[in-house]
Amino acid sequence: MRNHDQLINQLSASAQPVKRVWPTAWRVAGWIALALPCGVLTSWAFHSRFTDWSQPGAFFALVALLLSLIIAGSTLAAAFTLSIAGRKPISLRWPLLMAVIWLVLNLINMSSSAPPSGANRLGEGMHCYLFMLSASVPMMLMSVFALQRTRSLYPARSLALSGCGSAFTSSMLLSLCHDTHLHAIDFSMHLAAGITIVALTVLAGRRWVRLGE
């Protein structure tokens, strides 16, 4: 019995107080508040102009921008909730529906505009690709740090959802310095950048987010 008491005393002395994480809504708001200025700074080298909202397709571009912000917040909330054991996962039905609407709006905007001379060159799309990747670097780090505090029983899924949040936030920043109309190769590079961001987030953060590390 004495040995048991001694063990209990040792464990009690070494135990650290549990720090409660912020509510999910506050965590998402804090993430976005930090991610936006950090993304602007890291992508500034690829910033060449501000969006002219008087161009054709401005309405579709503006709605897509707002949807990007909503989808980013929704997927981040889902990632943070999933990482806490015992919490009921957030349904992804609405984020998926909004993502489909976002895609349709961009396709409509792309098909309703006549590309100017040289617009389909790969160089323009590569510029957007690099912009989104550079903007997402601090966002990916912030996501891994936020998820590392709670760890996750589903690290790949949590990281993929947070990667989607980073991708759509980067897309929103790109919309602020991009033509309002889109072209096929240009938009395909936007999608490629989003897929790359999600993949990098999962690969880079899995070690730090999974339990037992």
Total domains, the chain: 1
In a domain, 105, yes or no: yes
In a domain, 42, yes or no: no
pLDDT digits (tens, 9 = 90+) for 99-130: 999 999 999 888 654 555 554 556 778 889 99
In a domain, 206, yes or no: yes
pLDDT digits (tens, 9 = 90+) for 165-177: 999 999 999 999 9
pTM score of the predicted model:
0.86
Encode burial over 46-67: b for 16+ CB neighbours within 10 A, e otherwise: beeeebeeeeebbebbeebbeb
In a domain, 109, yes or no: yes
- Cα 66 to the center of its chain, rounded Å: 14
Among the listed residues 129, 141, 164, 120, the one whose alpha carbon sits nearest the alpha carbon of residue 46: 129
In a domain, 98, yes or no: yes
In a domain, 193, yes or no: yes
- For residue 99, the enclosing domain spans 66-114+126-213
At a CB cut-off of 8 Å and minimum separation 6, what does 141 contact?
none
In a domain, 75, yes or no: yes
Residue 143, pLDDT score: 94
Low-confidence ranges of the chain (pLDDT < 50): 1, 113, 119
In a domain, 77, yes or no: yes
Residue 1, pLDDT score: 45
Strand, coil or helix: what is 194?
helix
Tokens of 202: 């999962």
